Amino acid sequence: MISFDEAQALLAGAVRPLGTEVLPLGAVAGRVLARPVRAALASPRRDVSAMDGYALRSVDAAVGARLALVGQSAAGGMPPPPVGPGQTVRVFTGAAVPEGADLVVIQENCETEDGAVIIARLFGTGTHIRLQGSDFAAGAELLPAGRRLDPLAMVTLAASDSAEATVFCRPRVALIATGDELAAPGTARANPQAIPESVSFGVAAMIAEQGGDLVYRRSGSDDLATLTALAGEALDAADVVVITGGASVGDRDFAKPMFAAHGLEPLFAKVAIKPGKPVWLGQARGRWVLGLPGNPTSAMVTARLFLTALLAALQGRDPAALLDWTELPLAASMPPAGDRETFARMIWTATGLQPIGNQDSGVQGRLSATTWLARRLKDAPAASVGERVSALRFG
């Protein structure tokens, strides 16, 4: 077995991004940029008003001043006339500030009378003008390569005046669940020897959440010939194959043997963590194969730790960015860690992290309540209430 950090370092060092493609703006949400985005124009493109009001020269700004109204300026409208001594232009938010003006007095502080504008009240020290390029200059880099185009980044991308973006290709993912005992949800009750196949649904949701494209999904019984055929189909269809179950060393654990005929080359075979020791990663026919344990909690914990990192690396992101550990206080004491690094399932409360209770690798009832993983190093001593531990958002 190797340590968690060693396994993550191997993954980060071996996995390379897939190809790139150019897509229109409407098709890139959630994708990862392969090239930086630069501004095609400045923002604002000219000095604009930040408020509805009246643009004038600051030397004319005094309570009681009476100014001649010589025009108006609206966003997207014709350029306004210039402002001279004793003059003002009506401006709306986002509209161009007329030449000669260096101040906007908000409309609430002005009154109109017979075609003139009177400054009725004090207006503070702000100019209420957004200067040309004060947000960003033309040519400025707004988004770096490797940035995921989340909702906020999509606003910036569009603001750059880009109609398209160069992004990394989405990983095509195949998912295989193994086990004679597994039955499709809704049918297990009819067979006393069966249990609902639940893990693949959580893994599939994680694949979608992390930008993967699930292109192949099957369940296979514990028969090596059948599973070997499924492995071949999955490798033909996808860039990544994820298999759940059969990851240990029992007589009916076929996760690795089913890929042996396809030239499996392991990157790592076991990781000294709890839960999830049997997790493994390798390549077959140039495709990545990730083996997850069959126990639901073990599968979802290792998917969070390794599948998210794998999909990130294939899309040009730093895998470490998906493992953003933070220090949080404990709301309850924790026992000493054992001879493996432990990832305890936790919930967040008003006083800190609280273990969900049953930490068995097979539990499912409380899995949906889990919001954090607390990382306890090998042989770590007991931790007391208020002590801070490394935690990773989970769920």
Domain boundaries for CATH 3.90.105.10 within the chain: 21-38+143-168
Q: Which tens digits make up the pLDDT trace of 47-69?
A: 999 999 999 999 999 999 999 99
CATH number for the 21-38+143-168 domain, one of 3.90.105.10, 3.40.50.20, 3.30.70.980, 2.130.10.30?
A: 3.90.105.10
Q: Which helix (H) or strand (E) holds 37?
A: strand 37-38
What is the reported pLDDT for 106?
95
User: How many angstroms separate the CA atoms of 220 and 22, rounded?
Assistant: 37
Torsion of CA 169, 6, 293, 214, to 10 degrees: 0
Domain boundaries for CATH 2.40.340.10 within the chain: 326-393
Q: Which helix (H) or strand (E) holds 158?
A: helix 151-159
Tell me how far apart the 2 most distant CA atoms of the chain are, in Å: 96
The percent of residues above 70 in pLDDT, for the chain, comes to 98
The burial class, CB within 10 Å (0-12 / 13-18 / 19+), for 71 is middle
Q: Examine the pLDDT at 222 and tell me if it is beyond 90.
A: no
What is the reported pLDDT for 123?
72
Q: Which helix (H) or strand (E) holds 236?
A: helix 224-237
What is the reported pLDDT for 98?
98
Residues 132-157 have a mean pLDDT of 97
What is the reported pLDDT for 361?
73
CATH number for the 48-130 domain, one of 2.170.190.11, 3.10.20.600, 3.40.225.10, 3.90.1150.10?
A: 2.170.190.11
Q: Examine the pLDDT at 246 and tell me if it is beyond 80.
A: no
The burial class, CB within 10 Å (0-12 / 13-18 / 19+), for 265 is exposed
Q: Which tens digits make up the pLDDT trace of 82-93?
A: 999 999 999 999
Domain boundaries for CATH 3.40.980.10 within the chain: 4-16+170-322
Q: Which tens digits make up the pLDDT trace of 255-308?
A: 999 999 999 999 999 999 999 999 999 999 999 999 999 999 999 999 999 999
Strand 280-284 and strand 213-220: pairing? unpaired
Domain boundaries for CATH 2.170.190.11 within the chain: 48-130
Q: Which tens digits make up the pLDDT trace of 327-354?
A: 999 999 999 999 999 999 999 999 999 9
What is the reported pLDDT for 221?
85
Count H helices and E strands in the chain, helices first. 7, 26
Q: In what order do the strands lie in the sheet with 265-268?
A: 213-220, 172-178, 240-244, 287-292, 280-284, 265-268
CATH 2.40.340.10 fits domain 326-393? yes
- CA-to-CA dists, residue 140 to 145, 189, 283, angstroms: 14, 61, 40
What is the reported pLDDT for 248?
66
What CATH architecture applies to the domain 4-16+170-322?
3-Layer(aba) Sandwich (3.40)
Q: Which tens digits make up the pLDDT trace of 98-115?
A: 999 999 999 999 999 998
What is the reported pLDDT for 180?
86
Answering whether pTM is above 0.75, one says: yes
Q: Which tens digits make up the pLDDT trace of 373-395?
A: 999 999 999 999 999 999 999 97
The percent of residues above 90 in pLDDT, for the chain, comes to 87
Q: Examine the pLDDT at 362 and tell me if it is beyond 80.
A: no
Tokens of 178: 């193994």
What is the reported pLDDT for 192?
92
The burial class, CB within 10 Å (0-12 / 13-18 / 19+), for 74 is middle
Q: Examine the pLDDT at 140 and tell me if it is beyond 70.
A: yes
- Contact by Cβ (8 Å): 277, 8: no
